[in-house]
């Protein structure tokens, strides 16, 4: 039984005073007087519990705005994007300017049964984080798998550690070390040279366990960029790019199943554009990655690029040329028809190339490689 009928009966039948009953049961006298008045006016019906909600609430959110919040969440989830209260608040602010607080948006979602409180969830403040101080101070890269309608695919992602900017996201049938080197050079051409690159120990990123170097390691060494690798079986070191995979796959799962690499790449490009410029990032103070990346000066490699030396034994082909890979791109060096089939040694100091004969060390050609040209004609540099 509710305490109200008990107090009314005690007062009317026993004659106990309002002050005595209020003090004995920890209620206020005014409430008991109000209860007695309702009983005299309405009988037992007046003792039933009533809502304490005010009749008017001038500051309450308008129903159409609540409906807009729900519709925005539904639309974002349907596209595979983040649809939390922070993101919804950010989109509303772009559309309307002055909008309710994030907590108000969250309460709307809770009232509508769209979110479930998680009081036991570990607070974000308890996480131990590290973050680069400047854009381009450290890039993270990793490869993840995705299934096409009829085959498998692999996605190579490069992101900036400071801003979380997606630098490159490329779909491949099978990712190779040469592909990683090419994608890195594309990102470098668009965003500049980073001071460091952090990856896991996958075969496309390092050949250290095999006693060698892959394309990316060679390029990083040549450019004076620090190459860093996570501890084996510890993906948390590359946590930012791992978390990016999760967000990216959540989006892809909501899209029509891609039937080709081209279709998958188009989906990746649309996601990267949205992620970089339209999605507020909680870890960035609700700014977009592009805003954070553009806001600061860019870090550069600490040391000057080291000269990369190579010695290569080759034979002039039947076209009278040699091939050489530089910056993950294959170049052809003209030697002339008179040298067809001749064994040579290529002495390479970065872009400075000397071609000498195997038998007596005669200098056949000396040139500076032009990385913007596929074919290096004999008019470039000395040809004897």
Buried b (16+ CB within 10 A) or exposed e, 12-42: eeeeeebeebbeeeebeeeebeebbebbeee
What pLDDT is stored for residue 302 in this prediction?
76
pLDDT tens column, 176-193:
999 999 999 999 999 999
Residue with tokens 């294959």: 330
**Average pLDDT over every residue of 111-136:** 71
Predicted model pTM = 0.59
As a whole number of angstroms, the distance between CA 121 and CA 177 comes to 40
pLDDT tens column, 276-328:
998 887 777 778 999 999 988 898 887 656 667 788 899 999 999 999 988 77
The DSSP code for 371 is T
Q: Which of 34-38, 121-125, 143-147, 284-288 has the highest mean pLDDT?
A: 143-147
Tell me the pLDDT band of 131, cut-offs 50, 70 and 90: confident
Tell me the pLDDT band of 124, cut-offs 50, 70 and 90: low
The DSSP code for 383 is E
> Could you tell me if 35 and 2 are in contact, meaning their C-beta atoms sit under 8 angstroms apart?
no
pLDDT tens column, 134-178:
999 999 999 999 999 878 899 999 999 999 999 999 999 999 999
Average pLDDT taken over every residue of the chain: 85
What's the N-to-C CA distance of the chain in angstroms? 110
pLDDT of 126 > 70? The answer is no
Of 139 and 1, the one with more pLDDT: 139
What pLDDT is stored for residue 1 in this prediction?
52
What pLDDT is stored for residue 137 in this prediction?
93
**Average pLDDT over every residue of 321-350:** 89
**Average pLDDT over every residue of 364-381:** 84
SS3 58: coil
What pLDDT is stored for residue 183 in this prediction?
95
CB < 8 Å & 24+ apart, contacts of 341-346: 341/315, 341/316, 342/315, 342/316, 343/313, 343/314, 343/315, 344/313, 344/314, 344/315, 344/316, 345/311, 345/312, 345/313, 345/314, 346/310, 346/311, 346/312, 346/313, 346/314, 346/322
CA quadruple 175, 180, 186, 188: dihedral positive or negative? positive
pLDDT tens column, 220-256:
988 889 999 887 766 677 889 999 999 999 999 989 9
Instruction: Name the percent of the chain lying above pLDDT 90.
Output: 39
What pLDDT is stored for residue 24 in this prediction?
84
Lowest mean pLDDT among 23-32, 57-66, 147-156, 355-364: 57-66
Interhelix angle 18-25/3-14, rounded to 10 degrees, is 140
pLDDT tens column, 46-89:
777 777 777 777 777 777 888 888 888 888 888 888 888 878 88
Tell me the pLDDT band of 6, cut-offs 50, 70 and 90: confident
What pLDDT is stored for residue 192 in this prediction?
93
CA quadruple 277, 283, 286, 287: dihedral positive or negative? negative
């Amino acid at each position: 039984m509710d305490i109200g009928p008990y107090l009314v009966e005690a007062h009317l039948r026993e004659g106990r005073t309002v002050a005595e009953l209020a003090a004995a049961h920890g209620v206020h006298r005014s409430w008991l007087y109000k209860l007695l008045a309702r009983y005299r006016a309405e009988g037992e019906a007046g003792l039933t519990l009533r809502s304490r909600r005010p009749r008017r609430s001038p500051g309450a959110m308008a129903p159409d705005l609540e409906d807009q919040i729900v519709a925005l969440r539904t639309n974002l989830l349907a596209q595979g994007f983040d649809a939390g209260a922070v993101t919804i608040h950010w989109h509303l602010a772009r559309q309307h300017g002055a909008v309710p607080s994030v907590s108000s948006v969250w309460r709307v979602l809770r009232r509508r049964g769209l979110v479930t409180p998680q009081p036991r969830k570990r607070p974000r403040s308890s996480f131990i984080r590290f973050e680069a101080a400047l854009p381009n101070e450290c890039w993270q890269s990793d490869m993840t798998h995705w299934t096409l309608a009829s085959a498998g695919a692999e996605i190579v992602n490069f992101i900036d550690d400071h801003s979380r900017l997606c630098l490159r996201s490329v779909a491949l049938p099978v990712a190779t070390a040469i592909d990683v080197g090419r994608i890195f050079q594309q990102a470098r051409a668009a965003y500049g040279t980073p001071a460091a690159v952090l990856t896991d120990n996958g075969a496309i990123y390092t050949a250290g366990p095999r006693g060698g170097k892959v394309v990316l390691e060679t390029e990083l060494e040549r450019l004076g960029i620090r190459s860093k690798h996570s501890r084996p079986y510890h993906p948390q070191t590359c946590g930012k790019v791992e978390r990016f995979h999760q967000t990216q796959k959540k989006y892809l799962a909501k899209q029509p199943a891609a039937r080709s690499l081209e279709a998958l790449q188009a989906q990746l490009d649309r996601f990267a554009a949205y992620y970089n410029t339209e999605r507020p990032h909680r870890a960035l103070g609700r700014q977009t990655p592009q805003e954070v990346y553009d806001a600061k000066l860019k870090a550069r490699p600490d040391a000057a690029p080291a000269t990369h030396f190579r010695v290569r034994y080759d034979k002039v082909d039947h076209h009278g040329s040699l091939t050489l890979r530089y910056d993950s791109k294959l170049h052809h060096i003209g030697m002339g028809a008179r040298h067809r089939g001749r064994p040579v040694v290529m002495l390479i100091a970065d872009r400075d190339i000397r071609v000498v004969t195997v038998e007596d060390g005669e200098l056949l050609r000396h040139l500076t490689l032009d990385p913007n040209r596929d074919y290096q004609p004999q008019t470039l540099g000395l040809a004897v």
